[in-house]
Structures are given as structure tokens and as C-alpha cells.
């Protein structure tokens, strides 16, 4: 018999097995018969799932509410401490409350695919503030640049003494760096104040804890053997909830869960 025909017969046999398992799960227990019971451990884990999922959703909602309430309270960097734009990922670009890059207007940097037509490129070049985040110089960097200038003035040069004009230029540059460092320090302090007042860090921690709890529970549900269709349904519901979470892809161990679930369904259908 061709392999395709074997496969079709196997599939029919499995469907009959699943139908029988479903019927057995729904049928009343006959007196004297020994019912096939679902794993108490799996049932216990299933009872925990609604609460864990509810906390995960509540944590995500709370985090989004914090972002909505505090996004525009976030300070924008003074122009004096900005130096060009970040045309790709750069840790020194201007960031918002969530840590994502923002524009000079305070809006999030667009994430959609860019138009690379000649006209679009020219428009971005003419108005970079509308498309790219600014590079922000830190107080630490500006202070080090000031110190470099002062060090250059103090350095002894027996053969090449600085001229009065050069010294004046370095002093002016040092004063400029010092002023900008003070601006940067105030800006950084205000960022920390807003971050602390918003409670964003706590909201993120709650969200991550809820995700970890959900990941752990669903992993245990998948790993606990099911003996009836009731157990299969429990696992299907858990996996459906998992796939609906936007952070699910980040858990590498979960990538094997669908395969494990499919194998178990086939095993129950074949029994």
C-alpha cells in the first residue's frame, strides 16, 4: 500500500481515537467501571492558571497606564548638550521613559519600515529631528572634556609654551564644557526624578515577575502528562494563552512546547 494511503489510514485511526477519548471524558461513569482519571497534578496546575494569567494582564495594563500618564513628563535634552543624530542604534541617543529612542519633540522614533526613495531621503536629511533621535552628551563626558582643556593649560612645555591666545581659547572652551556639563547634570537628575516618581521601574519589575510566573506555570502544565482529553484541553488553553502574550517568543524553552503537545495528543489518540 502506498505511504500516502498509510498516512490517511493512520489519520482516520487517530481521529477515531480522539473521538473515543472525548466521548469517554463526557460520558457518565458506569457503576462498577474503573474511570480513567486525569492527573491530579495537572488539574491542580490548571486551577492556578486563571489567577496567573489575570495577574500578567493586570501587570501589563498597569505598565501601559504608567507610560500613558508619565510619557510627556519626561524631560527633553537641552540643545546645548546634543551633538548630531543617531542614524542607527546608539546607546548615547536620547531615550524616553521606557528606554526607547525619542525624537526632539518627545515622540517615539518611528519604527515602521523607512521609505528609501530619493525624495524621502532628502526630506529626512532636511529635517532630521522629525525622523531620528538626537545624540546626547553626558555630564561625565563633558566634564572630562573640560578637564582635558584645563590639563592642557597646566602642562609644562619647556620647548613649546602655549601662547596667551591659545591659553585664552582653552579657557573659553573649558568654561563652555563646564557650563554644558552642568546642564547635562541637571537633565540627568530630572530624568531620574521622573523615573522614580512614575513608578515605571516597579511596573516593569511586576510585569517581568508576572511573565516569569506564567512561563513557569505553563511549562509545568506542558511537562505534566495528560491521561484524558480533559488534560489535552487544559494544555491547549494554556498554550493558547501563552501564544497570545507578546513576550512569549523571548522564552527559548517554550519553542519546544507545541511539539510536545502534539506528541501527547497523538499518544492519547493512539491509546
pTM for the full model?
0.77
For residues 108 and 252, the model is more confident at 108
Domain-wise residue ranges, the chain: 39-71+210-270, 83-136
CB under 8 Å to 200, separation ≥6 — which residues? Answer: 63, 66, 67, 70, 97, 98
**How large a percentage of the chain has pLDDT more than 70?**
85
pLDDT at position 167 over 60: yes
User: 53 pLDDT exceeds 90?
Assistant: yes
Round to whole Å and give the CA distance between 118 and 129. 18
* The pLDDT value given to residue 33: 38
Highest mean pLDDT among 46-55, 121-130, 260-269: 46-55
What the block records as the C-alpha cell of 198 is 512614575
Q: Cell triple for residue 60?
A: 501589563
- So what's the pLDDT on residue 13? 54
Over residues 246-257, the pLDDT tens digits come to: 888 877 777 778
d(CA 186, CA 195): 14
Which DSSP state fits 97?
T
Q: pLDDT digits over 73-83, tens only?
A: 999 999 999 99
Residue that wins the pLDDT comparison between 163 and 184: 184
Q: How many Å from the N-terminal Cα to the C-terminal Cα in the chain? A: 24
Distance CA 161, CA 181 (A): 28
Helices 164-198 & 139-154 angle (0-180, nearest 10): 160
* Mean predicted lDDT score pLDDT of the chain: 84
> Around 71, how many Cα atoms within 13 Å sit in the side-chain half-sphere?
13
Cβ burial, residue 226 (10 Å; 0-12/13-18/19+):
buried
Amino acid at each position: 500500500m502506498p505511504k500516502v494511503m498509510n498516512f490517511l489510514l493512520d489519520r482516520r485511526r487517530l481521529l477515531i481515537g480522539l473521538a473515543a477519548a472525548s466521548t469517554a471524558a463526557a460520558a457518565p461513569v458506569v457503576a462498577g467501571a474503573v474511570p480513567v482519571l486525569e492527573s491530579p497534578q495537572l488539574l491542580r496546575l490548571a486551577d492556578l492558571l486563571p489567577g496567573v494569567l489575570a495577574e500578567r494582564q493586570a501587570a501589563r495594563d498597569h505598565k501601559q497606564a504608567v507610560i500613558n500618564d508619565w510619557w510627556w513628563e519626561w524631560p527633553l535634552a537641552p540643545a546645548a548638550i546634543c551633538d548630531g543624530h543617531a542614524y542607527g542604534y546608539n546607546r548615547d541617543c536620547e531615550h524616553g521613559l521606557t528606554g526607547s529612542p525619542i525624537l526632539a519633540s518627545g515622540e517615539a522614533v518611528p519604527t515602521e519600515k523607512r521609505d528609501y526613495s530619493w525624495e524621502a531621503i532628502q526630506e529626512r536629511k532636511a529635517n532630521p529631528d522629525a525622523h531620528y533621535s538626537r545624540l546626547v552628551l553626558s555630564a561625565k563626558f563633558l566634564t572630562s572634556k573640560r578637564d582635558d582643556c584645563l590639563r592642557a593649560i597646566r602642562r609644562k612645555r619647556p620647548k613649546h609654551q602655549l601662547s596667551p591666545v591659545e591659553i585664552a581659547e582653552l579657557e573659553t572652551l573649558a568654561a563652555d564644557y563646564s557650563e554644558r556639563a552642568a546642564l547635562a547634570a541637571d537633565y540627568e537628575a530630572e530624568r531620574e526624578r521622573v523615573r522614580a516618581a512614575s513608578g515605571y521601574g516597579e511596573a516593569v519589575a511586576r510585569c517581568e515577575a508576572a511573565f516569569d510566573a506564567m512561563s513557569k506555570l505553563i511549562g509545568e502544565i506542558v511537562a505534566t502528562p495528560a491521561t484524558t482529553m480533559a488534560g489535552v484541553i487544559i494544555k491547549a488553553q494554556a498554550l493558547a494563552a501563552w501564544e497570545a502574550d507578546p513576550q512569549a517568543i523571548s522564552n527559548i524553552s517554550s519553542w519546544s512546547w507545541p511539539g510536545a503537545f502534539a506528541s501527547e495528543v497523538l499518544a492519547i489518540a493512539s491509546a
